[in-house]
Amino acid sequence: MFKNKCVLITGSAGTIGSALTHFILQNQPATIILLDNAETPLFNLEETLRLKGLKIDHIKFVLGSITNIALIEKLFSTHAIDFIFHTAAYKHVPIIERNPIPGVEVNCIGTKILSDASIKHKVKNFIFISTDKAVEPANVMGATKLLAEKYINALSEKHPESTRFITLRFGNVINSNGSVIPLFKEQLLNNGTLTITDREATRYFISLSKVIILLFESLKFAKTGDVFLFEMGESKSILEIAKETINELNFKEEKVQIETIGLRPGEKLHEDLVASDVNKEKTQHPEIYLVKEKKILSLKEITVDINILQKLANEQDTIAVVTQLKRILKTFKSRNSEFEDLD
């Protein structure tokens, strides 16, 4: 699939991006472009690849943002890209709830810039990494990812014979950067006390290796505009995850204080995998489901909406930005957030 091909990975120094990098490099690509706006993680990725003894003369390490139109245009015009794996995103719910404008700029506008460039430069495959938090979003982060999904779907409807656009949804990746398990481990090793949001809270978890396997399996049969949901199994209690982490580090459970701090801004008690008005269909792979929305916004409609959103973001008007998100996305209802008054 990747032999002698040109591959671009955005967010390449992140958890999923770096895993994709290692996998694809085993499959003899002609060129692999690793784009990230985080300097130190990108440096660390390059050093890791060097230490593995890999030839890296066909790897382009690019420091920059997906919101930089001039940079994206240069990359796309310089290289005949066959695959884009778009993993770059602002993903932390509480941070984006406090800072909606950067979330919109990266997750919505950045995705639009990349997908528009893909059509213009005839990129063959565009794989967008989304999240279960895009399902009936309760926070700005989830809403920005849902809007990005909708733009990609509208683009694929308008240009069905051009780039193959594929969206992949799944829950929390176990041990990913900034996720709950590494946080629990750090808390235990530093002060022996764990903080959890709510003893009843549950989340869906998936291993990184399973994400990579299912991602490449989906490429074997995906059609443009497809939105896939990976099999997540049963949701897991955050309290149980905390206890498992205590046991894994050989701490005695009865000696560890678990403090409940309450749900953070934008957080749900339980996540959803499929919206109430959406159908989930089986595919030829037992762990990959096709998500079918009943109504897709036209490209003209959603482009106008995003242009308004960008104008409001440029004006640094936070309330207007969130209001516009809610106007576009009828299922976006804030929880545990200052933006509940806007619903």
301-330 confidence digits (pLDDT tens):
999 999 999 999 999 999 999 999 999 999
* Whether the predicted pLDDT of 331 surpasses 90: yes
**Does 54 have pLDDT greater than 80?**
no
Report the distance separating Cα 78 and Cα 72, nearest Å.
10
CA distance 43 to 45: 5
pLDDT higher than threshold 80 for residue 277: no
Q: Which of 187, 190, 177, 175 is nearest to 261 (CA)?
A: 187
Alpha helices in 178-317 (DSSP H): 180-191, 208-218, 238-248, 299-314
Structure tokens at 247: 């046991």
Which tens digit of pLDDT belongs to each residue from 163-190? Answer: 999 999 999 999 888 788 889 999 988 8
| Vertex 150 angle, CA 148 and 152, to 5° | 70
User: What confidence tens digit (pLDDT) does each residue in 79-123 have?
Assistant: 999 999 999 999 999 999 999 999 999 999 999 999 999 999 999
d(CA 340, CA 326): 11
What distance in Å separates the CA atoms of residue 230 and residue 273, rounded to the nearest whole number? 9
Selected catalytic residue, list 5, 91, 133, 145? 133
Domains of the chain plus CATH, in order, are: 6-174+205-232+273-342 (3.40.50.720)
Give me 126's structure tokens: 């565009």
pLDDT at 2: 95
Query: Mean pLDDT over all residues of the chain?
Result: 94
Is 133 assigned a catalytic role?
Answer: yes
DSSP state for residue 186 in the 8-state scheme: H
Predicted model pTM: 0.94
Residue 11 zone, left/alpha/beta (φ > 0; ψ -120 to 50; rest): left
Contact criterion met (CB below 8 Å) for 139 and 133: yes
